[in-house]
Amino acid sequence: ETGVTQTPRHLVMGMTNKKSLKCEQHLGHNAMYWYKQSAKKPLELMFVYNFKEQTENNSVPSRFSPECPNSSHLFLHLHTLQPEDSALYLCASSHGLAGGRSTDTQYFGPGTRLTVL
């Protein structure tokens, strides 16, 4: 049990659909992250939230929209995705530091396997 849960675990959607990925952490952390892992590529950071404020958007297309209503929950809203967006989407959390820089170990959820048809 990693303390970070993600739902759904698998999602298939069409290019015109709207769906949301959910992440919840039970570790009392203040920072949460979305990563994308495509086949044969390294994990790519997408978004960072620190104390509910977005502190990093790693040039992610606007068809991906994150939401962090509180320190325990993180959503990724999906709209008009492309087949190349099919990937494993991982959520992570960490203690977070007010200074924004840290040796802050991140703990990952199991991921959502997304397929865009």
Partner 1 sequence: DQQVKQNSPSLSVQEGRISILNCDYTNSMFDYFLWYKKYPAEGPTFLISISSIKDKNEDGRFTVFLNKSAKHLSLHIVPSQPGDSAVYFCAAVNYGGSQGNLIFGKGTKLSVKP
The residues of the shown chain that bind partner 1, judged by CB under 8 A, are 2, 4, 6, 31, 33, 40-43, 45, 48, 50, 55-56, 58, 90-92, 94, 96-97, 100-111
Provide the β-strand partners of residue 89: 36, 112
Where residue 27 falls (left for φ over 0; alpha for ψ -120 to 50; beta otherwise) is alpha
- In the complex, the smallest distance separating the C-beta of residue 107 from partner 1, rounded to whole angstroms, is 6
- In the complex, the smallest distance separating the C-beta of residue 117 from partner 1, rounded to whole angstroms, is 22
- In the complex, the smallest distance separating the C-beta of residue 82 from partner 1, rounded to whole angstroms, is 23
> What tokens appear for 2 in the block?
């990693």
In this structure, what DSSP letter does residue 66 have? Answer: E
